[in-house]
Amino acid sequence: MRAYYFDNLEGDQRLPHDSGVEASEEVLRSIGVLHRHITVDAEGKYEQEVAAVAKERDYKNHDIVAISKEGLGDEFETKIKSFYHEHMHEDEEIRYLLEGSGFFDVREHSSESWIRCHMGAGDLLVLPAGIYHRFTLDMGNRVRTMRLFKDEPKWIAHNRGNETDANPYRAEYLKSIEVQ
C-alpha cells in the first residue's frame, strides 16, 4: 500500500490525485489507521494470517464482495459514487484485498486533509470506528475484497453531517486520537 495526501484537484475519483506528499505509517497510526500486507498465495496460507488478525480483534464473520463493471452492469457508476461519499461507521472496518486495487481515503482530523491509501491484492486495512473515510476503485475498475465483521455481516454508512459529528462513536474516536 502507498499512502499520500490527496491533491484536491477536480477529476475522476478513480485517478491517483497524488499531491506528491507521502503519508507515513506513523501518520496513519496517529489517526488510528492500521495497515498490514499479507500476500495472497495459491496455497491459501493467507487465510490463516487473516484468521489470526480476525481472532486477535475478536471478529467472527466475513464475506467477500466483488465490484466491477462486468459484475454491476448499469449500477456500476451509481454504486462507486455511493461508496465515495464521506462517511463513518459505528464499527471498526477491516478490509483485505484479494484481487484488483482501489483507494481508501481517510480524513486526517487535525488538518481536514484526505490521505489516500492505494491498496492492492494482499493489503489489509483497519479503520477505527468513527473515522471519516470514503472508497473508490482506481482505473482498473475492479476489486475483490474480504470484509471482516465482529458478528453478522453489516455495513451501515453514516454520511458526514451535524448528526454524525455528534455521534458518540465519532466522539470516542476523537478522544482516542486525543483531539480536544
Handedness of CA 135, 5, 97, 146 (dihedral sign): negative
Q: Is 87 annotated as a binding residue?
A: yes
CB count in 10 Å sphere of residue 28: 20
Q: Are 109 and 177 in contact (CB under 8 A)?
A: yes
Q: Is 158 annotated as a binding residue?
A: no
Q: Is 133 annotated as a binding residue?
A: yes
Q: Is 85 annotated as a binding residue?
A: no
Interacting residues of 173 by C-beta distance below 8 A, sequence separation 6+? 32, 88, 128, 129, 130, 131
Binding site per annotation, positions: 87, 89, 93, 133
Binding site per annotation, positions for Fe(2+): 87, 89, 93, 133
Binding site per annotation, positions for Ni(2+): 87, 89, 93, 133
